[in-house]
């Protein structure tokens, strides 16, 4: 198998390695120093956004045709992974910029792509993704938000819940029902702008983790938008939303990898410093075995995620299975690894004086959003390789 083109694509190239080094240095210098405060104060990581924009890393997936870097799926994974290693909340900037904008890239008209991908690539406006609603989570097709045609306009009404970066983003991909008789085939996708009349936001949710990433409701109250803001054909919005998730679940896997790597790196250093029974606790085989298991799980998750990224880039037929598998496996691994990192720090690990408890709280969300891990198993079971 070694040497076949498929196999080579699973491995990061020299360019990918250089990108990782650059993002790691940036994240350590400009993002990590604020991670604890961003969590403690539950505030948006503006320093991270500024640093990412200054280095053109806020949305590197945007194609070159619209002024972006045109980075491949693996490069995007590496950026998210390295930012998440320092601060999970900040990693939602590149991750959700991809999630929000991919529907336009996959299904939007050329005009729509030019209009919205260009400011995204320049760092002039972020993108959010509005699928979930108060009564439509795992069963997203049960949404109630409606769009009604009125001449050359569509008028949107409804409530979207749990919208990451809501209020900060300029642009919102909104899924809404255009034909209630057709369930998922009666859902269409639209670009809504923050400045459109009738758009407002709920109070930030008070969360267990990723506290620096604002999660708010988006209210659409008679929002009247030009008909050309529809993404793709009428009735294709749900299919576009699901196709998007096939690609972006890999970015949640990347976030999980980064959080877990941050926790493992911290624990590895700590066990060499902390002494009990007259020697570093890292000298005890019981502790070494825990670190070995953590590293093993992390590397298995990384290989699955990179394989899925290669499939995303090539649009392989088994992408749906791999996207779900990578997200599910990496997020479960991150939860185990961060929990073990807290264990390795003992009582100190349980306090906010050390970063691993934040990492453990942050890891939990990766098992829930972009479809819970139960939903990932449903997706995998329906798409067995």
Ligand X SMILES: Cc1cc2nc3c(=O)[nH]c(=O)nc-3n(C[C@H](O)[C@H](O)[C@H](O)COP(=O)(O)OP(=O)(O)OC[C@H]3O[C@@H](n4cnc5c(N)ncnc54)[C@H](O)[C@@H]3O)c2cc1C
Catalytic (active-site) positions: 370
Cα angle 328-331-336, degrees, rounded to a multiple of 5: 125
**Identity of the residue, 206 or 279, whose beta carbon is nearer to ligand X in the bound complex:** 206
271 near ligand X (CB under 6 A): no
Find the part of the chain contacting ligand X (CB under 6 A) among 40-48, 56-64, 307-315, 368-376: 368-376
Q: Across 99-142, where does the E strand assignment appear?
A: 127-130
Q: HSE (CB half, 13 Å, CA atoms) of 145? A: 33
Name the minimum Å distance from CB 105 to ligand X: 17
String of DSSP letters for 308-358: HHHHHHHT-TTHHHHHHHHHHHHHHHHHHHHHHHHHHTHHHHTSTTSTHHH
103 near ligand X (CB under 6 A): no
Name the minimum Å distance from CB 128 to ligand X: 6
Site track 346-365 with ligand X (rule: CB under 6 A), x = hit: -------------------x
132 near ligand X (CB under 6 A): yes
Residue 67 DSSP SS3: coil
Q: Residue 95: enclosing H or E segment and its boundaries?
A: helix 88-107
d(CA 183, CA 167): 29
Name the minimum Å distance from CB 54 to ligand X: 25
Residue (of 293, 262, 291, 377) closest to 327 by Cα position: 377
Label residue 315 exposed, middle or buried (CB < 10 Å: 0-12, 13-18, 19+). exposed
Greatest pairwise CA separation for the chain in angstroms: 79
Name the minimum Å distance from CB 96 to ligand X: 6
255 near ligand X (CB under 6 A): no
**Identity of the residue, 94 or 349, whose beta carbon is nearer to ligand X in the bound complex:** 94
Q: How many residues bind ligand X (CB under 6 A)?
A: 21
**Identity of the residue, 307 or 360, whose beta carbon is nearer to ligand X in the bound complex:** 360
Name the minimum Å distance from CB 223 to ligand X: 17
Distances (CA, A) of 175 to 15, 234, 244, 332: 36, 11, 12, 29
Choice from 163, 259, 325, 342 touching ligand X (CB under 6 A): 163
Residue nearest to ligand X (CB): 137
Q: HSE (CB half, 13 Å, CA atoms) of 46? A: 3
The DSSP secondary-structure symbol of 209 reads S
Q: Residue 223: enclosing H or E segment and its boundaries?
A: strand 215-226
Name the minimum Å distance from CB 52 to ligand X: 18
**Identity of the residue, 178 or 376, whose beta carbon is nearer to ligand X in the bound complex:** 376
88 near ligand X (CB under 6 A): no
d(CA 360, CA 340): 9
237 near ligand X (CB under 6 A): no
Binders of ligand X among 171-210, rule CB under 6 A?
Answer: 207, 210
Choice from 76, 89, 164, 173 touching ligand X (CB under 6 A): 164
**Identity of the residue, 126 or 264, whose beta carbon is nearer to ligand X in the bound complex:** 126
Residue (of 40, 170, 162, 157) closest to 117 by Cα position: 170
127 near ligand X (CB under 6 A): no
Sequence length of the chain is 385
**Identity of the residue, 22 or 159, whose beta carbon is nearer to ligand X in the bound complex:** 159
Choice from 22, 53, 141, 368 touching ligand X (CB under 6 A): 368
Q: Which residues bind ligand X (CB under 6 A)?
A: 128-132, 137-138, 162-164, 207, 210, 215, 365, 368-372, 374-375
């Amino acid at each position: 198998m070694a040497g076949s083109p498929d196999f080579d694509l699973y491995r990061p190239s020299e360019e990918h390695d250089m990108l990782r080094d650059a993002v790691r240095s940036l994240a350590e210098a400009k993002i990590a120093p604020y991670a604890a405060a961003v969590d403690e104060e539950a505030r948006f990581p503006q320093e991270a956004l500024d640093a990412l924009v200054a280095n053109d890393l806020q949305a590197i997936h945007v194609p070159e045709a619209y002024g972006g870097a045109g980075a491949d799926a693996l490069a995007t994974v590496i950026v998210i992974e390295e930012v998440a290693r320092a601060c999970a909340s900040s990693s939602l900037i590149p991750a959700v910029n991809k999630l929000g904008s991919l529907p336009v890239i996959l299904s939007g008209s050329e005009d729509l792509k030019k209009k919205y991908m260009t400011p995204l690539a320049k760092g002039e406006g972020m993108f959010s993704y509005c699928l979930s609603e108060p009564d439509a989570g795992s069963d997203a097709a049960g949404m109630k938000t409606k769009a009604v045609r009125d001449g050359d306009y569509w008028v949107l009404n409804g409530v979207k819940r749990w919208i990451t970066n809501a209020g900060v983003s300029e642009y919102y991909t909104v899924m809404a029902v255009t034909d209630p008789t057709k369930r998922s085939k009666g859902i269409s996708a639209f670009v809504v702008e923050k400045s459109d009349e009738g758009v407002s936001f709920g109070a930030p949710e008070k969360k267990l983790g990723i506290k620096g990433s604002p999660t708010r409701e988006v209210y659409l109250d008679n929002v009247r938008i030009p008909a050309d803001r529809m993404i793709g054909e009428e009735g294709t919005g749900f299919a576009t939303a699901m196709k998007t998730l096939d690609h972006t679940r890999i970015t949640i896997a990347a976030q999980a990898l980064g959080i877990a790597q941050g926790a493992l790196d911290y624990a590895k250093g700590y066990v060499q410093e902390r002494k009990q029974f007259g020697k570093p606790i890292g000298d005890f085989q019981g502790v070494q075995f825990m670190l070995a298991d953590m590293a093993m799980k992390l590397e298995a998750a990384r290989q699955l995620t990179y394989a899925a990224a290669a499939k995303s880039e090539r649009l392989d037929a088994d992408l749906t299975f791999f996207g779900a598998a990578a997200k599910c496996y990496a997020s479960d691994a991150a939860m185990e690894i961060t929990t073990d990192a807290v264990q390795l720090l003992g009582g100190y690990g349980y306090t906010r004086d050390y970063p691993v408890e934040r990492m453990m709280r942050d890891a939990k969300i990766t098992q829930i959003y972009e479809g819970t891990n139960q939903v990932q198993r449903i997706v995998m079971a329906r798409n067995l390789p």
